[in-house]
Amino acid sequence: MPLAVVASRALLGLQAPPVQVEVHLSGGLPSFCIVGLPDTEVREARERVRSALLNSSLPFPSARRIVVNLAPADLPKESGRFDLPIALGLLAAQGVIDPAALRGHEFAGELSLSGDLRPVHGALAMTCASHAVRESQERLVLPLASAREAALAAPAAVLGAGHLSDVVAYLAGQLDPAELRVSAQPCAAAEPVADLADVRGQAQARRALEIAAAGEHHLLLVGPPGSGKSMLAQRLPGLLPALSHEQALQSAAMLSLSNSFRAQAWGRRSLRSPHHGCSAAALLGGLGPGGLRPGGQQINYPKREGIRINRLGAA
């Protein structure tokens, strides 16, 4: 069958809309074209996929005209997450794997030239956005590192693979799904939480923190540099109640978008410390090539005393 369709997901802010990776093989001059509003990182998948297939002893249709469509066409596509779906679509279009085996699965992963699978950002956001995956009606196949992260939301439906050949063997029925199932990242080595008991003095400010935490009020700390504002703010999360499972997933999904999620901080309220001179785009995020991305990219401000901050404003 010269046409194959593989399910995947893009990232658009905190959302992960579904993407259909359509691969078509036809006669004519040999070429490899990717359409559907791809970013530069996605267009470069042509070379990664070709080398990964050849180095994994899998066939690549070098004598055919290859067209890959990432639908919907008006949705920006970024990062190397579509490498794995494109490679599987090429194999299914050649008849190496059964196209029916792709149904009920979503795939994402970046390929190295040797066929190894590299992690992608936003794995938790992808899992939370797919109702079918969270209800274990579909399976999500990811690189190992990303799968351990995504298993926090859907441990029964997430599969992790270290190499392209492992995914092909699984789809061909040569590998049991239990061998690819991963467990959530261990959270035993939790990081210590800043304790308000460490603060000496500052009785009025400590009282304000306790009242704000108990009543869920907003809090504004004003004072000269070195008066203890940041020190007190760092201890406010320790006074707040623990996050529920859904709240912890939402917090971890946002951190996953910028590759700043740590298993040791699971279920803990995060604290961001923006610089007082950062711009609105540095504080809130901005529009990149792949659409709205809250954090994850660093911006240089050479006229502001060489301060280097990211899109969420962390100095």
pLDDT given for residue 259 in this prediction: 72
Please name the helix (run of DSSP H) or strand (run of DSSP E) that holds residue 209, with its range, or none.
helix 203-215
Average pLDDT over residues 82-99: 96
pLDDT band at 260 (very low <50, low <70, confident <90, very high): confident
Q: Is the pLDDT of residue 262 over 60?
A: yes
pTM of this prediction?
A: 0.79
* Tens-place pLDDT, residues 16-54: 899 999 999 999 899 999 999 999 999 999 999 999 999
pLDDT band at 292 (very low <50, low <70, confident <90, very high): low
**Order of strands, edge to edge, in the sheet holding 139-143?**
105-107, 139-143, 158-161
Distance CA 133, CA 8 (A): 12
Distance CA 42, CA 24 (A): 17
pLDDT given for residue 287 in this prediction: 57
Between 148 and 310, residue with greater pLDDT: 148
| Domain 3-180 fold | Ribosomal Protein S5; domain 2 (3.30.230)
* Tens-place pLDDT, residues 116-142: 999 998 888 888 888 778 787 899 999
Q: Between the CA of residue 287 and those of 57, 283, 297, what are the distances in Å?
A: 40, 13, 11
Cα–Cα–Cα angle for 37, 42, 48, nearest 5°? Answer: 150
Between 247 and 113, residue with greater pLDDT: 113
pLDDT given for residue 100 in this prediction: 94
- Ordered by start, the domain boundaries in the chain are 3-180, 272-315
Q: Phi, psi at residue 29, to the nearest 5°? A: -65, 135
The amino acid at 312: L
pLDDT given for residue 252 in this prediction: 80
pLDDT given for residue 197 in this prediction: 85
* Tens-place pLDDT, residues 65-79: 999 999 999 999 988
Lowest mean pLDDT among 108-122, 205-219, 274-288: 274-288
Mean confidence (pLDDT) of the chain: 84
pLDDT given for residue 293 in this prediction: 60
pLDDT band at 1 (very low <50, low <70, confident <90, very high): low
Q: Which residue is listed with tokens 């029964």? A: 156
pLDDT band at 305 (very low <50, low <70, confident <90, very high): very low
pLDDT band at 298 (very low <50, low <70, confident <90, very high): very low
* Tens-place pLDDT, residues 181-193: 987 765 545 567 7
Between 61 and 257, residue with greater pLDDT: 61
Q: Is the pLDDT of residue 105 over 80?
A: yes
Contacts of 43 (CB under 8 A, 6+ apart): 34
pLDDT given for residue 303 in this prediction: 39
pLDDT given for residue 304 in this prediction: 39
